[in-house]
Amino acid sequence: MRRHNHVTAVAVTAVAALLLAACSGGGDDAGTATTSPATEDSTATEAAASTCEAVNVFLIPSPSADAIKAMTPAFTEATGINVEFTEVEYGTAHQKALLSISSEQSAFDVVQFDNTFLAAFAKAGALTDISSLAADSAEYDMNDFPASLQNYGDFDGAKYGLMLSTEPFIQWYRGDIYDELNLKPATTWDEYKSNAQAIQASGLADGQMLGFGPNTTWWWMQVLWSFGGALYDADFTPTVNTPEAVAATEYYKSLLEFSPQGALGATGDDVTLQFVGSDIGQMVQYSGYAAGIYDPESSSNAANIRVAPVPAGAVNTVELAGWNIGIPSDAPSPECGWQFLEYMLGKTNAKTLLENGAAAIGRTSIIEDPTLQEKYPYLSLLNIAPDVVVNTYPQIVVWPEFDKVASDNLAKILSGDIPIQEGLDAMQAALEPVMAKEPR
């Protein structure tokens, strides 16, 4: 999944200020390092002999990070390279990593980061351009990715990160309920709402689940883009109170009527927990939550879960999220960092990474594997159709502050404290000084 917890306001403010300042000062050590043993057996292909002795890796707690750690003994056995990990929780990870890199501590050869911080890290000069490394690597094989995914981790024409997870929004639904009510997966937002109404009226389950709490911008952006709206224009002027934005917000708020009690405060994690733990007919959620959705120990309806692409509006678009991982600009051994990344994310070990619990990386060789598709039916949806517009999180340095302002104003709108147009006008006014700080 994308992250474990919602970032607090204090953490967001601190990180935003740090990123805008490009972090010229020093910082404390980012965490406690642990050396991984090199004793486990592996079926992975042995890497060529290396002159590297050790690689230092900065991770953020996530299923993908856990999978990397599980594969590390085999990497060490195959290459002779020892690995030291520093793992820092999401709320402070980006701030600590950027402090370390900007003060040239040369602490890490590899760094994991959320795609929401790609612009900030790139503009601060904190990452190495790995475009040629990725393009020239037969093991990484860029051609093993659909065209819609090949530019993930790119900024201003340079590649600063590799996909550590591929997490588009997906429509998840209860096949047993759909069969009983003779429903079909929605292809439009009107159909999605109609299905939710039918499920609610049947009494079999609550109609649907989206996030309406601290992570509300995740879903609101998907609906906004689908309705033809935008967050800001080419001049970085906010555009959140347009007719398209009003229509999208009206629709988004209307779905509360078909949602379970407590949905108004639901976080990103809560959405999945409620869907798998109670009777809810359908939800829109990132594919990165698949492991929990399909786990029969945590999901009482795992055997009945089916998937479909996210519904379309005036624009057929999908919001794509996911972790990035790259090489810091002050890496002491960038060549060792690349060797580590090739091993973990290359074609040879892609299946092993997935089977160790990582969120899937959208390699064609993975998403078209019939054995894996049978086990993980959502994989085929990672091959996003060419006619679908892919929207990633906004690549702006001020995104943490933008997100905070948007979610705070949406909370007032969704709770009924303020009418939609008035609330979006207030959001527009609050975002204008935020976007004025965006480096041009």
CA angle 380, 386, 388 (to 5 degrees): 85
CATH class of the 168-320+398-436 domain in this structure:
alpha beta
Region 117-143 average pLDDT: 97
**pLDDT value of residue 121:** 96
Structure tokens at 30: 């980012």
Domain boundary assignment for the chain: 9-166+322-384, 168-320+398-436
Say whether pLDDT at 325 is over 60.
yes
User: Percentage of residues in the chain with pLDDT exceeding 90?
Assistant: 85
Phi-psi region of 132 (alpha: psi -120 to 50; beta: other; left: phi over 0): alpha
Region 150-171 average pLDDT: 96
pTM of the model: 0.88
**pLDDT value of residue 19:** 55
Q: Do domains 9-166+322-384 and 168-320+398-436 have the same CATH topology?
A: yes
Region 364-392 average pLDDT: 94
**pLDDT value of residue 315:** 98
Helices 399-414, 216-226: crossing angle, 10 deg rounding: 90
Of 411 and 6, the structure prediction assigns the larger pLDDT to 411
Say whether pLDDT at 421 is over 70.
yes
**Burial (CB count <10 Å: 0-12, 13-18, 19+), residue 141:** middle
Region 395-416 average pLDDT: 96
**pLDDT value of residue 18:** 53
In sequence order, what E strands does 103-212 have?
Answer: 110-114, 154-155, 158-159, 162-163, 167-174
| pLDDT tens, residue by residue, 109-126 | 999 999 999 999 999 999
Q: How far apart are CA 222 and CA 224, in angstroms?
A: 6
**pLDDT value of residue 42:** 36
Structure tokens at 264: 């108004």
DSSP structure string for 239-253: -TTSHHHHHHHHHHH
Region 22-44 average pLDDT: 36
Say whether pLDDT at 211 is over 70.
yes
Region 207-225 average pLDDT: 96
Output the average pLDDT for the chain: 90
Q: Tell me the CATH number of domain 9-166+322-384, given options 3.30.390.50, 3.40.190.10, 3.10.690.10, 3.40.50.150.
A: 3.40.190.10
Q: How far apart are CA 144 and CA 268, in angstroms?
A: 30
Say whether pLDDT at 6 is over 70.
no
Region 312-341 average pLDDT: 97
Q: How many CB atoms lie within 10 A of CB 439?
A: 14
Q: How far apart are CA 36 and CA 85, in angstroms?
A: 8
Q: How far is CA 8 from CA 14, 90, 146, 296, in A?
A: 10, 10, 35, 32
Amino acid at 361: I
